[in-house]
A = this chain, B = another copy of it.
Amino acid sequence: MATISDVAKEAEVSVATVSRVLNKQNNVKKETAERVYKAIEKLSFEPNILARNFRKNESRVILIITPNITNPYYAHILTGIGDAASELGYSALIFNTANSIEKEKEGMEMLKKKRADGAILLASNSESKWLLDYEGKYPIIQCSEYDEEVKISRVSIDNYKAAKEVVEYLINQGHRRIATISSKNNYISTHQRMNGFVDTLKKHEILMRDSYVEYSSEDYSFHSGKAAAIRLLELKERPTAIFCISDTVALGAVAAAGEMGIKVPEELSITGFDNVDNTTMFHPYITTVSQPCFKLGENAMKMLFQRINSKTDSHEEMLLDYEFIARESTGPKKNKR
C-alpha cells in the first residue's frame, strides 16, 4: 500500500503538496499537480480514509436507526437516505433495533464513539424521552415518526390532515357507519391518524361507537388486521366502511370480507394507508394515502447534512406532501335492498 509520502517522493514534492492535490485545493501549480497525478497513477495510490477521518475527526458515516428493514415502508425510506448520503459523500450504516429500546440506545452510542457523524431515527415514539440526552449534542433527525416533546428536527407528512381527508371522502360517499382498525403502538402517526378520524366524525356529527374501534398488532400485521376486521364484520350493526391504519391491515380486512362473503366495495369500503404494500396486486386495488417515502429519506439526509456541517442547532420541522388515492376498495354506500 503506497502512502502519501511515497507519492511525494515519486513526484518530488512534499506531502503537503500531495495532500493539497488530493483535496483539490486550487493553490497548486498545474504542472506540479500533473506530476503528483502521475505519481498517484504509477503507485496506484489510494488515500487511506482511516487516517483522513482520524485526522479530520469525522467518520463520514451516518447512522440509521430502524426497527426493521424487512418492512418495505422503511426500505423505501432507507433507499432515499442511502442515495442522498452517497451523493453527499457519506456512507449509511443501518442499525436494526427490532423494536428494542435497548438496541436503539446501543446504536446511538455509536455517535459518542465517533463511529458516525450523525443519526436518522425512523422509529421514535412517545417513549423516546431518553433522546433528550442527545438533543443538541449530536446531529440527529427524526424521520417519519417522532416524539413531539423531543425538540429534534424532523421530517414527515401531516398524518392528521391525511386521515381527515380519507374520512371526509368516506363520508362523502355516503358512509355513516365507519369503523376503524388502529393499533396500540405509540407512534405519533397512529395517534394523529386516529385524531383525524375522530375529529372528522365529530365534525359531521357522526356517532363514534366503541365497538367500531378495533386494533391490529403493533406492527400492523396482515393476520391481526384480518382478525380485527372479522370482529368488526360480525357486529350486529355491521360498518359499511373501515378506515385502516395501514395497507397491510386493509389487505387483511379485504381478505376477511372475502372469506365472509361480503363484497368490497359494494357492501363494504376499506381504506389503507402508506401505499407501499402490494396495494395494486389483487383486486380490489386498495384506496390509500401515498407517502413520499423516498423523499422523506432524502430530505432527512439533507437536513442531517446541514446539521453536521453547520453550527446552527435550530429545531426544524418539515412536512412533505402526501397523496390520497381513491381506488377500487371504496365506493358509495349502497342503500339496503
* B-binding residues in A (CB < 8 A): 46-51, 53-54, 57-59, 61, 68-70, 72, 75-76, 78-79, 82-83, 86, 91-96, 110, 112-115, 222, 251, 255, 258, 278, 281-282
Per a CB cutoff under 8 Å, which of B48, B69, B281 touches A255? B281
A222 to B69, CA, bound (A): 21
Sample (18) of A-B pairs whose CB atoms are under 8 Å apart: A46-B112, A48-B113, A49-B114, A50-B53, A50-B54, A50-B57, A50-B114, A53-B54, A69-B78, A70-B72, A70-B75, A70-B79, A78-B94, A82-B96, A91-B95, A222-B278, A222-B281, A282-B282
List the number of copies, as a whole number.
2
A96 to B282, CA, bound (A): 29
Per a CB cutoff under 8 Å, which of B93, B112, B255 touches A282? B255
A289 to B22, CA, bound (A): 51
Q: What are the residues of chain B within 8 A of A58 when measuring CB–CB?
A: 50
Q: What are the residues of chain B within 8 A of A115 when measuring CB–CB?
A: 49, 91
Q: Return the chain B residue nearest A94 by Cβ.
A: B94
A251 to B94, CA, bound (A): 31
Q: What are the residues of chain B within 8 A of A278 when measuring CB–CB?
A: 222, 278, 281
> Quick check: B282 and A48 within 8 Å, CB to CB?
no
- New A-B contacts (10) at CB < 8 Å, excluding given A50-B59, A82-B96, A91-B93: A46-B113, A48-B113, A49-B59, A69-B78, A69-B82, A72-B72, A91-B95, A222-B278, A222-B281, A251-B281
Q: List the 4 closest A-B pairs by CB distance, nearest first.
A: A54-B54, A70-B75, A50-B54, A46-B112
